[in-house]
Amino acid sequence: MKISPKLICCFLLLVFLSGCKKSSSTQETSTTKPEPAASTEAAPATMAPVASAPAAASAETTAKMAAAEWALKQDEIKKDPKGQWAIQATASSTYNDAQGMAGLSANQSTGSPNVDSYGDNGAAWTSKTPDGGIEWLDLKYPKPVHATEVRIRESCGSGAAIKIEVYDEQGGGHAVWQGTDPTTELNYLMVKFPKTTFKTDRVKITLATNVVPGWNEIDAVQLVGTDQ
């Protein structure tokens, strides 16, 4: 049977169109949107050690700055031209009844500070017994001045001072401070007050040794004042 050329052309056209559709389908499948790639951003847990390094360095720097500031303050106090250190001292009692310049005697609180770390040290004064109650330390200075401040360097059992008195040239006592001692560790209790109208070369410190358990030791006491 003779096939019409027109039919052959129609048949070929249908085959061609069918193939384009399949190709198009294949292309759509191959270009389907891929799943998002895994994020390359590090998880917080991974970043934590990196973040902690600067924090540790910052804490160390802060500690060093505080230590340097403390050292400068100690040096400033020692060299204060208006300050003077005691040359003689007596006390209500001393550990092991120490006399003269024996360790822990009253005279160990004279001179400039020489205890460099917090804790029991023979270069400071302490009372005969710990936690016994009221004790006192009485100090004499090189020259009488119109006093403006007293600085007590506490070196063990800090925080037991309850009263500071200065004495006029006739021997009369004048309380310049009375209260709760906030001192902790190796540090100064620094008490400022209006300049005295009289001159003084004597300071008396009263402690309540039962307030802070254990031995309460004083390394040095500075009297600050002026001639006029």
Most confident segment among 30-34, 48-52, 165-169:
165-169
Please give the pLDDT value at position 28. 35
Of 180, 195, 107, which Cα lies nearest the Cα of 150? 195
CA 111 from chain centre, in angstroms, equals: 27
Whether residue 106 is contained in a domain is answered as yes
Judge contact between 203 and 148, C-beta under 8 A.
Answer: no
Q: What is the pTM of this model?
A: 0.74
Whether residue 139 is contained in a domain is answered as yes
Of 168, 197, 203, 195, which Cα lies nearest the Cα of 85? 203
Whether residue 178 is contained in a domain is answered as yes
CA atoms within 13 A on the CB side of 87: 7
pLDDT tens per residue, range 198-213: 999 999 999 999 999 9
Whether residue 32 is contained in a domain is answered as no
Please give the pLDDT value at position 93. 98
Residue 13 reports pLDDT greater than 60: no
Whether residue 51 is contained in a domain is answered as no
Q: What CATH number did the domain enclosing 151 receive?
A: 2.60.120.260
Number of domains in the chain: 1
Give CA–CA dist 111/228, Å, rounded.
Answer: 24
C-alpha torsion angle, residues 180, 184, 189, 190 (rounded to 10) = -110
Whether residue 128 is contained in a domain is answered as yes
Whether residue 146 is contained in a domain is answered as yes
Query: 159 is in which domain, residue-wise?
Result: 83-226
Please give the pLDDT value at position 4. 45
Whether residue 158 is contained in a domain is answered as yes
* Structure confidence at residue 57 as a pLDDT band (50, 70, 90): confident
